[in-house]
């Protein structure tokens, strides 16, 4: 029997042995997406970005899985929860790691940021066709970019210890750093912890999200000299694309309210 050590919306994490873990995906999860994670992890390692080494892909009980090397440490979110006084310093650490990722070329990554975004928006059943069309036209006006982007960068996807490791590269793309930062800001504002997370951690997260978000953004801007307006213009399509993910009803409602408020502003200007 494998010991489960974590779970999320798409997969369960099991301790395989003393040196490896198994990320076992839900039975109905996309095999193409699993392959993307396997391939992307290998590419980012070659680029010098620290992430757990991929060992093998397997099938167990009709479910696909990836075996990764076991890395020691806690996630940045866990560090913030256990040591609330470290929230701002850990958020700055997160920003520095994100900035380092964006210094790498994403040309080897098959997934293109805008293409993935547009596919997700087109699949968002909660949006009207007219809303999708308007958002798509807007996305077409935004830059392409060719930097390495994580696509789901948040404090639960950074393991920190003697070294820092970036995990969960399934959503890795070639694209614009400003869009990748916008995605992180959307997650830090609207996102929730996975189902099964203890209520105390959910409450703590709500309490610290605002401080975390501000410290992360301020430090990223100071490192990159990016204009905050470059980030803000991506928030609408990022929010729309997120509607296709397995997110709680409360978060989906908040995102829809934001999207429709933004579209209304567009229509009145």
pLDDT, tens digit, 9 for 90 and up, residues 179-199: 999 999 999 999 876 555 656
Domain boundaries, the chain: 3-69, 74-267
Confidence (pLDDT) at 111 = 96
d(C-alpha 241, C-alpha 248), whole Å: 15
Residues of the chain with pLDDT under 70: 1, 193-203, 269
What does the alpha-carbon distance between residue 136 and residue 90 come to, in Å, rounded to a whole number? 35
Give the pLDDT of residue 21: 95
Query: pTM surpassing 0.85?
Result: yes
pLDDT of residue 10: 86
Tell whether domain 74-267 is in CATH 3.90.1200.10: yes
| pLDDT tens by residue, 221-251 | 999 999 999 999 999 999 999 999 988 888 9
The domain 3-69: what is its CATH number? 3.30.200.20
Find out whether 195 and 113 touch, Cβ atoms under 8 Å. Answer: no
Helix (H, G, I), strand (E, B) or coil at 200: helix
The pLDDT of residue 197 is 60
Give the Cα separation of 76 and 79 in Å (integer): 5
Taking the C-alpha atoms of residue 195 and residue 193, their distance in angstroms, rounded to an integer, is 7
């Amino acid at each position: 029997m494998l010991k489960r050590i974590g779970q999320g919306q798409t997969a369960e994490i099991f301790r395989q042995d003393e040196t490896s873990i198994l990320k076992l995906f839900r039975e109905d999860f996309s095999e193409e997406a699993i392959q993307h994670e396997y391939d992307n992890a290998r590419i980012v390692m070659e680029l010098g970005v620290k992430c757990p080494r991929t060992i093998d892909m397997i099938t167990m009980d009709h479910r696909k899985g990836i075996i990764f090397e076991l890395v020691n440490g806690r996630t940045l979110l866990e560090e913030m929860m256990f040591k609330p006084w470290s929230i701002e310093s850990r958020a700055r650490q997160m920003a520095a790691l994100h900035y380092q990722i964006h210094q790498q070329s994403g040309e080897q990554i098959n997934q293109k940021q805008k293409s993935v975004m547009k596919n997700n928006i087109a699949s968002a059943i909660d949006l009207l066709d007219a809303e999708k069309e308007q958002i798509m036209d807007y996305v077409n006006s935004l830059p392409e970019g060719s930097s390495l982007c994580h696509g789901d960068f948040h404090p639960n996807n950074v393991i920190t210890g003697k070294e820092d490791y970036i995990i969960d590269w399934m959503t890795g793309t070639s694209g614009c750093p400003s869009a990748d930062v916008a995605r992180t800001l959307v997650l830090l504002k609207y996102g929730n912890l996975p189902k099964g997370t203890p209520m105390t951690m959910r409450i703590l997260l709500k309490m610290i999200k605002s401080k975390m978000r501000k410290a992360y953004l301020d430090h990223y801007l100071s490192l990159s000299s990016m204009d905050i307006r470059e980030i803000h213009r991506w928030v609408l399509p990022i929010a729309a694309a997120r509607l296709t993910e397995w997110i709680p009803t409360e978060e989906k409602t908040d995102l829809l309210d934001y999207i429709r408020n933004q579209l209304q502003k567009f229509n009145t200007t």
